Structure 1
């Protein structure tokens, strides 16, 4: 059992008056000629200037573009589009392109440079080889929740849809020039970091507070942000942060995935308000579903419930989208939610990338070209 934090060590959850949404989108910089990664993020950010929508990340090949607080996926995409236009102008002028996928098809991790900063240096010093290997990109989606007591039940129940979210976004089949056999190698890589991976399935905010207290007391973390779960509370923002997704290459798919995430969390929130006990699965089922989605993507047969019933993830997705349609209408994102169904029809990113590689006799520069071309601002 976790230790009991004192009142001074309680974690205040800011709470959101409305179920707002925010998006963080990580991009790699690639050289326009070689299509390899370029460690020029600091110069790009310097030229962009002071902009709260553009952030540095751990590696110098990465910039992050974020939204403000938005009402729905439609507003979030408009926000991102505005920032991306100016960023891409700077990137192009410096002989580079913006690229987003869970991994780069052929870049080598040991050639990448670390962004200056004590936090990044301490992470690498602690994690060593695994930390240096983190040549990965993702998307994070924040959804506002009104009060702390709802947060952990929603997170624990949302894990039932973890494989859907990962399979739809899977975009990292390659690692250093080779096909890993996985749809999302990023998901497998990232969980190697301490405090990363699947969240513990707490049911109360007090349990989470006790966990954080133990983590700090034993020196595992110094700050709550160092808990790098795939789905985690963001107490200072009053949100649940979903970090399941691989990097997404285009706005159309991103809009669909943001709408799906928004609807899932709002649906669970409303069911709590109605007095419903939210469904959960044993941790071993959740863990297996993560692996199946990472390995097989949209071909994964997932575990549906605590009774160990199974179904193809795309078949379950159809039913899920139908169930969420009224929620999407209430959030004014019905078109974006419907677009989720286009991803299996047209092929997820990992499938498109493999198709391009096959058509170009294994030339992975063509894969990079195709991903760059998908970003239509």
Structure 2
């Protein structure tokens, strides 16, 4: 058994020198499958859901190669790594759609706090109450996925002191999101938020994980993990996804993986919020508190524990090989830690970003040539 999986990828566009340039209006007019964000400097594409990781890898790479080719046709433009405006010179908001009233609200309420790039990982679960249960477990473990993916240590040309500046500043909305006890609870709570205007619409639930579907909150079919910073390395992204999938497959057969069985919901939400803040600050080196007993544990060690737990499940379901890049992340650090190490050695932020722009473009091309030529994604 494997689950269907898909990604929503937000990326910045700009120059090989690392400066972000707003091009989303041109991109969405010219290319199918790309949509604009409220700020024009990033653009989003969504992959179709696949159970196969090979097909998912190509669904991830092919639109990006198409986008790279189009950016080159506009001039000397490329894709920029990272989840924040690493080199921006001001905190100005660049509207992609000046006539959109929802974008009015976002700009006026949040400003550049939402001008970030990230990856949302979606896994298909058709039973709504099983989906809500999955959301409970992944909500309390979401800080671990942030720790693996952190890639935003810079903002406006300087190191901020956070490994995920994006998640540290991102406006989690509404302020208080419970661990939902059932699908009925999720429906009732969502209707209350819409009536109270704490959510502007059903999409305006910006938490680390949320149930998603074709007609929220009534018709749900997937778990959406939203906490991850942008993971530009496609193989690393597949590894994080495989860890998430294996954990869910483990949960389906293990009733003990139920947060509400071990603690009061409000206590768990407070613990999880504190863990998210710690992971945003120090990622893999963060000291967290385990949801099962409140004990202190370093994020890297907790991920190692879960890796060992889920490996037999992943192997039984034919996805264990996709987990292997996690070992490198745990050993060598995530993108933020790699960048900060270079920065501490004296490399300036611009040079770090420029170097990564070149490395990522080369890696994507090599991967597509090696893997995707024989695989039809459409």
Same fold (TM over 0.5): yes
- Note the 1:104-253 alignment, pairs <5 A: 104-116=85-97, 117-125=100-108, 127=109, 130-190=110-170, 192=171, 194-195=173-174, 199-236=177-214, 238-253=221-236
Q: Distance in 1 between matches of 2:206 and 2:90?
A: 21
Confirm or deny: 8 A CA contact 1:18 1:145 kept in the other structure. no
1:27 and 2:11 aligned: yes
- Note the 1:283-362 alignment, pairs <5 A: 283-359=269-345, 361-362=346-347
Q: Which deviates further from its counterpart, 303-312 or 134-143?
A: 303-312
Q: Distance in 1 between matches of 2:49 and 2:184?
A: 27
Report deviation, 1:305: 3.0
- Note the 1:250-289 alignment, pairs <5 A: 250-271=233-254, 275-276=255-256, 278-280=258-260, 282-289=268-275
Deviations 1:304-326 (A, max 9, x none): 13432122221222221121113
Q: 1:95 to 1:201 in 2, by over 3 A?
A: same
Aligned twin of 1:363: 348
Report deviation, 1:18: 6.8
Report deviation, 1:331: 4.1
Equivalent position SS for 1:336: helix
Q: Provide the aligned C-alpha RMSD in A.
A: 2.2
Q: Distance in 2 between matches of 1:166 and 1:242?
A: 10
Unaligned runs of 5+ in 1: 1-16
Confirm or deny: 8 A CA contact 1:29 1:96 kept in the other structure. yes
Task: Tell me which of 20, 25, 29 is aligned to 1:37.
Answer: 20
- Note the 1:26-105 alignment, pairs <5 A: 26-32=10-16, 34-48=17-31, 51-52=32-33, 54-93=34-73, 94-105=75-86
Q: 1:239 to 1:221 in 2, by over 3 A?
A: same
Report deviation, 1:222: 4.2
Question: How high is the TM-score relative to the length of structure 2?
Answer: 0.85
Report deviation, 1:22: 0.6
Report deviation, 1:111: 3.8
Equivalent position SS for 1:209: helix
Report deviation, 1:286: 0.9
Report deviation, 1:218: 1.6
Question: How high is the TM-score relative to the length of structure 1?
Answer: 0.86
Report deviation, 1:297: 1.1
Equivalent position SS for 1:39: coil
Q: Distance in 2 between matches of 1:110 and 1:318?
A: 38
How many residue pairs match? The answer is 348
Deviations 1:111-139 (A, max 9, x none): 441110332123223x1xx3333231111
Runs of 4+ in 1 over 6 A off after TM superposition: none
Confirm or deny: 8 A CA contact 1:72 1:333 kept in the other structure. no
Q: Distance in 2 between matches of 1:110 and 1:316?
A: 36
